[in-house]
Amino acid sequence: MSAPLRLGTRRSALALAQSQQLADALTRTSGREVLLVPIVSEGDVNRASLSQLGGRGVFANGLREALAAGECDLLVHSLKDLPTAQPDGLVIAATPAREDARDVVITRDGTPLSELPQGSVVGTGSPRRIAQVLRRNHRVQVRDLRGNVDSRLSRVRDGDLDAVVLAAAGLSRLGGDLGGLVAEPLGLDEWPTAPGQGSLAVETRTDAASDLLEALGRLDDLPTRIEITAERAVLATLDAGCHAPVGAHASLSDGDLRIRALVYALDGAHRIGMDRTVRLEPGYARTAGSGDGAIAADGADPIARAARTGEDVAHRLLERGAADLVPRESTP
């Protein structure tokens, strides 16, 4: 009988929940037991603001070190927390089907963000969300916020904050119980979220056993892979960290790939946007276990096409002045 697979994960309730969901799916595709290996990341112990931590992979570096050292066999990340540069020796072997990519505003009584009165306090630690909140309602105050989902919801419930902004996917993976609070979903056209939001990334070593790579490949969702490739190409070409004030969302529908990207000034006063749709070649197919992409039967590569489209969107944003708004990537 094969030894259990060791899945490295952060220790937060959300990380453990999404890792267990992935572990159960991997057991089904591989026939092997999967054990969770909790690992502490820099982001879990460093309580500095996300704007100060920047794009240095603070939620991923410790996990990746453990993977490279052989302390676990694979990792599960929230893709939005990963820097765009892929470390040597590691590969994102699967991106399962993405959940809801939207942000939601959580309040006590359901008052929309745009209608919160003067002096209302909204909690978020994300520079992108800060800029979007201030652009949606300049009357509110934004308070820097770290902590797990339950603690953030409690601060609204207890009246310390009037609202918080959270990822819909994270709430769903934790069961969606708001304890009497009310969620306002925010449309992706005017409120694009972090590149990769709602998607998980399953990472392993490039020299992992072929049966593990094949089992992970069966968990890979091609439409999700195409969408997140385009989004992360925008971020990489802008040379911006994963916590920069950049929103990018790509959607694939009937072969059309649409990318909507916005770059914000930190105070929300200005933004530069780009919206582009391209046609992908029909009939593409992925070889099971290929992990990193897809090659169409007629030779076209939708992953490469998505990357080029994201890069083009970013170049056009830069031509329009985005470089003056975006802090540069701080990943070594």
Asked if domains 5-99+194-324 and 103-185 share a fold, the reply is yes
Q: What is the mean pLDDT of residues 103-109?
A: 98
Q: What pLDDT does 58 receive?
A: 65
Residues 6+ apart with CB under 8 A from 243: 50, 51, 53, 54, 55, 126, 127, 128
Q: What pLDDT does 42 receive?
A: 56
Hey, how many other C-beta atoms are within 10 angstroms of the C-beta on 69?
8
Question: Phi and psi dihedrals of 143, rounded to 5?
Answer: -110, 130
More confident residue, 282 or 108: 108
In the chain, the percentage of residues whose pLDDT exceeds 70 is: 86
Q: What is the mean pLDDT of residues 206-226?
A: 96
Q: What is the mean pLDDT of residues 145-172?
A: 95
Q: Is there a catalytic annotation at residue 81?
A: yes
pLDDT at 48 over 60: no
> For residue 142, what are the β-bridge partners?
122
Count Cβ neighbours within 10 Å for each residue of 298-324 and write b for 16 or more, e otherwise.
eeebbbebbbebbbbbbeebbeeebee
pLDDT at 297 over 70: no
Q: What pLDDT does 292 receive?
A: 42
CA distance 267 to 131: 5
Q: What pLDDT does 127 receive?
A: 93
Q: Which of 233, 49, 47 is nearest to 129 (CA)?
A: 49
Q: What pLDDT does 146 receive?
A: 81
**In angstroms, what is the C-alpha Rg of the chain?**
20
Q: What pLDDT does 298 receive?
A: 42
CA distance 168 to 188: 12
pLDDT at 330 over 50: no
107, burial (CB in 10 Å: exposed 0-12, middle 13-18, buried 19+): buried
Q: Which of 39-43, 122-126, 174-178, 213-217 has the lowest mean pLDDT?
A: 39-43
> For residue 78, what are the β-bridge partners?
200
> Of residues 24, 44, 73, 81, which has the active-site annotation?
81
More confident residue, 60 or 115: 115
The whole-chain average pLDDT of the chain stands at 88
pLDDT band, residue 224 (cuts 50/70/90): very high
Residues 6+ apart with CB under 8 A from 151: none
Alpha helices in the chain (DSSP H): 13-30, 42-45, 50-53, 61-68, 127-136, 149-157, 168-173, 210-217, 222-238, 302-319
Dump pLDDT digits (tens) for 21-45: 999 999 999 999 999 999 986 555 5
| Domain map (residue ranges) of the chain | 5-99+194-324, 103-185
In the chain, the percentage of residues whose pLDDT exceeds 90 is: 77
Tell which CATH architecture fits domain 103-185: 3-Layer(aba) Sandwich (3.40)
**Superfamily for domain range 5-99+194-324:** Periplasmic binding protein-like II (3.40.190.10)
Q: What pLDDT does 239 receive?
A: 85
